[in-house]
Structure 1
């Protein structure tokens, strides 16, 4: 096939092109050299577009070469084993490098878009190894959307066939509700901030959920059963309620509630937007709860999409390619799973979700809109904004029609003392549903978090504590320099405002220079140092108590743990972010169904949502998360409906290091959701990041010791 034309402006520069390899046919050497160049660039924090192109090209060719070597019958067993080992080594470097840059990590997904630049670079690498180019342009696959700003978007062929087969799919705009209610008493008032503050000011015992109907008989698929709290939400949808922020604690069966709510509301076709790690699980759940509805899952460019399906499941990562045709598809319902993923309204994923919601609301008279998340508040009460906007309760500046009418009806303004609890009730009545396990699922055994302090190896421990002291001294030096630059008399004692400013400056300075470790690199070093100890403890639990889920943030910590399990002759299953959905599901099934697989080694970010690992009641958290919400999500992979044993999460804490300080800060942030959603008197922590608070505490302690 002829090489596709390339514009000069998008070609790799000469310095980034692969050099000619003197050994014809040895593409593995070419790949090994290229991956080392990428690794070095990432270590220098010079991840340019050219570096990302090179990284993606190597990943594609490693995958293709691995398949070729496995299927090549002309290669002897010894030669095949040697080549596969070399390829696995390159793959390991790719994975370890990708962990340091989220943009690179996304390129390891099978859903990642292959740019023309990447394809050209990969073909040049093949030529440099004396091989024929094999990466052709993906024509004539899905047609490109010709709409404005649609570069890179696709329309699957089956979707076009659906549109041509049924010309009556054009929506009836006449049924859509009228525009916003003109404010009367509240004209001139800024209302969004008071509405958000009303959740921060919630009194103890304040309602956390809208009124729901009594439990009524519900026709369910054979062998399926719901708990009473699940039936109530489905009944609300059957009675006509159409917007829900379903914020039940993780493990209370939100997926089943959403699917059955769509069934009773006849909200088909239904769009479901999910993290990539749970796409297959959602398809399975749809088959269980709505067996009479056809389901299609969007992969990559959508080549396998069934344009006539009732339920369309797409992940956030490929939404940008499909947002065009999805917006015109005629959906009557939309579910966003793990809705806290859209909390950053400036992000592309959030903008796409909000755009789709707006288009569905503009074309459908009362669509079913559901935001599912057990942790709607990660850092700040403002995390509500994007979710409320998705549900059509607000826009960027003000409440929309239904909420504005409710606020007008209470007869109060933000200047009145009673406005805040009344306004909170108005929002909740629009569809906030929040149930806790302790209230609605008493048969789920208790859970607890147990901290297990460990002493690091003498040499490693001394090195880490020395690095912590160096960091503290650097912060003190910055503080004293800033203090000396001020005019006037110095403040008595510690200037806490200046402490925070210094901490903010340090947090922004994450470059790896001679200045020493930062808080991120220190936590990674601590994780590496704890890896063997945490794995040893998990191995003991596996032998004495049954299956164990082992969570870590970094690939090297997971690798070290797996070496320990292999040494102890303990079978394990690995669930990581760089796996294809098929491999991931196979590994999940192995842990859940095979009694001999004792440990699931899981990525905290890739396996912390959407998975059901209730076969284990012991969890080992080898590394700390930066948020209480992420930690809770991980624990609730086991602490959920169907669990019969008390669940214990063992947090491995490095004693006498910053690790223990951060553990306390994570716990302190748990109060935000408790106050805003559950009406608890727990103190609401600052919205600042845990990293920042750790630096503030470190500097404050160091200054106190000097006085």
Structure 2
């Protein structure tokens, strides 16, 4: 074996590190070959642990070679050529990483370097005739540094809750310990076979635990569960406490989770969600569990209710709240879009697992639910983190009920029947998977699901300020009209006739382009602010449920969405009004026929008619139409003859803005249009009616929020 720093080809000694030109070329060529292997594997959808190890080893060696090339001696031209080749490898790495969040995390400077990756870097060096010197080996990863205490917060409301009443102290009773019995499977490696049992499952193998007859016992008055939803709630009422709820999007996982918590009396309940659905969870809690108080953690949590039954927090701020959340005494925990935690080295995954451990340690039989629309067989290794969250496994072995169930099979991984039996053991622990096509009789053939989102940051503040300015301008015009009318025309309170006149004048000015901030510019700004959130949700749908149609009104909203899809590695087709017929049809065909094209980004006006996009059953409406007819035409691109699945249109609505008011008006006009088509004398409304009534509502709200002058009194003085 060659000594460190010596080549195997017989050369007596290499040049100093910064002069190893032959080595540099050899290593870069080896990196180029390896990165193409990884890229091809990821494109085939096979992101196995071995692929991740190879990916990280390439990243480590690339950084080392990049630093050596920059510091190396020799001509500038040679150094430039080396850096150019390394940049090409880096580009392929980045392009590959955006297809899988687990790979993306490995590019982070603070990513944990596995022993396997360090070993592979040495093998790659030896493959090109280099015996790595000890100082050349990638440094060992330092011990994990705990979260910096200064970043964590404890909201004052939580402190008040802890001090208010000793009877509010959490139940820290431990779960009863199972009697120890001889382990027939002791010494067997079981996690690999358990995961493999899902990959080996043949067509028609069950993917859902047995569920009891549906129950509506916990459904509030005025609401109705679909039968498939009621079955899961009945399972929770019967005592089941862990669920991997993997229903396809649109089948009501949120309602099932909330009512399962009610059936299990799992309060206080912690709900961890992506930011884009945080507001929707609070709204759904008010609908399905109206007698339970819910609070949403924003930022440092200054506005939360420490006495709430349901605490909703998004992944992005979990790091600063994990301390007090672990001491809160939760008896249940729901993780929405649970595939977000599949990379166990990520901070959010570690925080979720930490909270799950603390809840299980302190609470007897807590309710734990992981919600994800991702199909069960994707990269099955991703389920390690989810199973660990649910308490089915730890880092190395099955736990508790799962281990008991495996023992009861009487089989070992050496037995042919082990894999089918092991898969059943896992499913019976709480895997619930239903597809739209499986429960088509339960759900409408076409439905609209509103997804309210909060517009945070400067864009949200600017929009709310502009909305207030628009309201102030109309209030000033309203007061001017009152000041100049005769005394015998005075109306007690708000004069709704004047309100409509002012709104018409404002709409006329806006249409003529004479007004400043108006209803049209407001909606466009709101559309731009929602673009990233809407596109992110569409990307989640595409990963979990297949093809998605994304509709927007404005070109800049489409542009922003397409930029996000490109960054996330989501392939898309763009269908716009300015395309030639040939280009347009080419993009339509790509979405319909290419399984890798996941999203069609469509102009609401240009693509809302004349297209057949029934290959998708999920639609994202990033911007609102002015009429229900325009909205319906867009949905009907997928909801048409030949569609085999119920169609769900996800309408993204900016909460607490004029956007929400317009959504309500469109829905009310839809009912009016339906009555008109059925023979009513009512007139079908136009888009101008919605615009006018939105301004009427905005002005009425502003006048209601301020004291009105007494009848006959002067105004504005």
User: TM-score normalised to the size of structure 2?
Assistant: 0.46
**TM-score scaled to structure 1, two decimals?**
0.46
Bigger relative contact order, structure 1 or 2, given CA contacts below 8 A and separation 6+? 1
Which has the greater radius of gyration? 2
